[in-house]
Amino acid sequence: MKTGVIDIGGGMRGIYAAGVFDAFIDFGIKFDYCIGVSAGTANLVSFLAGQKGRNYRFYVRHAQDKRYMSLENMIKKGEYFDLSYIYDTLTNHVDPLDYDALINSPSELKIVATNAKTALPEYFDKEVFLERSCKALMASCALPIACRAVKINDVEYFDGGVSDPIPIRKVIEDGCDRVVVLLPRNVNLRKKPESLRYVYLRALRKYPEIIEAINQRHEKYNRAIDELIELREQGKAVIISPAVQINARINSKNPALLDRLYKQGRRDAVKALPEIRKRGL
């Protein structure tokens, strides 16, 4: 049996899953296969490295610095989230990622990013960390408009959620029999069409395929949710998501709000433990 976990991210709302993963570390929960989208990739690398509390510090402490995210960044650098500051300055120097522990983890890791030219998903694995670089994380988190495209080997990438918001198909194709899925919103909520489509049309005219993918993103997300619910009914999936929605945005910086989300994630992980054990995860 091959077990997997999916973290779909959600910007600063990803702290909910950070709480789940810290609880998993406490209870010794491990997975054969881990796949992350956007902020979910950052959560996963700390989880695989066994660095409990590291994600919490990024969301609650480091994000308060305007160099992390701010309108000033947008004006000066052309991106709201400074991915170089987050994944180089912080990750390699201020609050280091344990690359050795990550690379030596027995779990398989996939990082979802979207090819900016084709708008198709591409999947990076742990080998990208051998050079002590977080470029793949940056690519997976490069939210269109809020971030510039990230270049890897002369190929530009945007946020993985543009092309594969909930990579359940990839998990199944890669051989997982059981999967735990972490969602920052209640599983019963559905995404609506993009409200800022005209902004995207103007700002991303250089990337027509990305614009089209953004316009279809809600449909992909909703189809994946339907499939997840079906898998749950078949006993093949455990879905961990907030029962009560906390009003957080992808750029929320309120420490008290973020702390509540983190603690809610920990509580929900504990509640899900019997089901996780029952499913052989």
Residue 252 belongs to a domain with what CATH number?
3.40.1090.10
The answer to whether residue 281 scores a pLDDT higher than 90 is no
Euclidean distance between CA atoms 161 and 112, whole angstroms: 8
The answer to whether residue 27 scores a pLDDT higher than 80 is yes
Domain span at 97: 3-278
Euclidean distance between CA atoms 14 and 7, whole angstroms: 8
Query: Residue 241's pLDDT band (boundaries 50, 70, 90)?
Result: very high
Distance, CA of 161 to chain centre: 8
The total of structural domains in the chain comes to 1
The answer to whether residue 245 scores a pLDDT higher than 80 is no
> What pLDDT does residue 25 have?
98
Name the DSSP class of 97: -
> What pLDDT does residue 85 have?
97
> What pLDDT does residue 202 have?
85
> What pLDDT does residue 86 have?
98
> What pLDDT does residue 167 have?
98
Q: What angle do CA 211, 142, 267 make, to 5 degrees?
A: 110
Contact 37, 112 (CB under 8 A): yes
> What pLDDT does residue 197 have?
75
Q: What angle do CA 127, 131, 137 make, to 5 degrees?
A: 65
Residue-wise pLDDT for 163-184, tens only, equals 999 999 999 999 999 999 999 9
Share of the chain above pLDDT 90, in %: 90
Contact 267, 20 (CB under 8 A): no
Residue-wise pLDDT for 123-135, tens only, equals 999 999 999 999 9
The answer to whether residue 146 scores a pLDDT higher than 90 is yes
Mean pLDDT score across all residues of the chain: 96
Over range 226-234, report the average pLDDT.
Answer: 97
Over range 143-165, report the average pLDDT.
Answer: 97
Q: Structure pTM?
A: 0.96
Side-chain-side CA neighbours of 269 within 13 Å: the count stands at 25
Task: Report the SS3 class of residue 245.
Answer: coil
Query: Residue 14's pLDDT band (boundaries 50, 70, 90)?
Result: very high
The answer to whether residue 280 scores a pLDDT higher than 80 is no
Residue-wise pLDDT for 76-92, tens only, equals 999 999 999 999 999 99
The answer to whether residue 3 scores a pLDDT higher than 90 is yes
> What pLDDT does residue 203 have?
87
> What pLDDT does residue 153 have?
96
Strand stretches in the chain, DSSP E: 3-7, 33-37, 108-115, 121-124, 150-152, 155-159, 178-182, 237-240
